[in-house]
Amino acid sequence: MSGPLEDVVREVELHAARAGWEQPAQLFALVDTADLLAREPHLAAVLGLESEEGDTPPGGLTPVEQETTADSLEELLPSILWPPEVVGCAVVLEATTLPAEAGAGADVPADPEAAAAYASEHPDREEARIVAGVLRGGESWCAIRQRAHDEDDLVMTGPDLVPALLELLHATLDPDAGDPVPT
């Protein structure tokens, strides 16, 4: 049985997959569905959550896409501090990776932009879409879809597949993480 974070990461990954490849990075606030509907009852019909009993199953999470203006997540994420109503956050991004033997070579430029260009032109590159989500309580979940194996049943999942990205996401939920700008 999967938990709410696993479910919402899967939902966001499927949404991103339906949009296709070569999409910009996306950022989502994760809110408790029952709390959201208590504040905004009209959203039940929009989200397809109306039931005959009128209640919402407890523990569900709803992703709320955020507009982003920064060119990179590395620049954007340290500037975010979510309000208390946001119980977690998730990002979707595409990445190019190289096999270990290619990445360890002396040909990879030290400059990040030049390294990205090098990777994007490398014949052994692999492209992937990463969805990473975290909750205030410390829980995390990731999904990675490889472009070469673009099938719903081949998506890799796990709690810590992209540790550096998860660390950046957790920092957006920590009120003591610095001087971020409230969203």
Provide the number of structural domains found in the chain: 1
Element (H, E) at 112: helix 112-121
Q: How confident is the model at residue 114 (pLDDT cuts 50, 70, 90)?
A: confident
Amino acid at 152: D
Domain annotation covers residue 82 = yes
- pTM of the full structure: 0.83
Count of all residues that appear for the chain in the document? 183
- For 37, the token pair is 């509907």
pLDDT digits (tens, 9 = 90+) for 32-49: 998 888 888 877 767 666
- Residues 1 and 23: their CA atoms lie apart, in Å, by 31
CA 26/CA 166 separation, integer angstroms: 15
Residue 39 lies in a domain: no
Q: Number of C-alpha atoms within 13 angstroms, CB side, residue 145?
A: 21
Whether 96 is in a domain gets the answer yes
pLDDT digits (tens, 9 = 90+) for 162-178: 999 999 999 999 877 55
Residues 87/136, Cβ–Cβ less than 8 Å: yes
Let me know if residue 136 belongs to a domain: yes
Q: Which of helix, strand or coil describes residue 146? A: strand
Within a domain: 131: yes
Helix spans in 47-162 (H): 73-76, 100-103, 112-121
Q: Which two tokens stand for residue 49?
A: 């959550």
CA distance 91 to 82: 14
Boundaries of domain holding 160 = 4-31+57-182
Comparing 98 with 27, which gets the higher pLDDT?
Answer: 27
pLDDT at 180 (0 to 100): 47
**Residue pLDDT, tens place only, 120-141:** 788 888 899 999 999 999 999 9
Question: For residue 93, is it within any domain?
Answer: yes
Structural domain contains residue 117: yes
Q: Does residue 160 sit within a domain?
A: yes
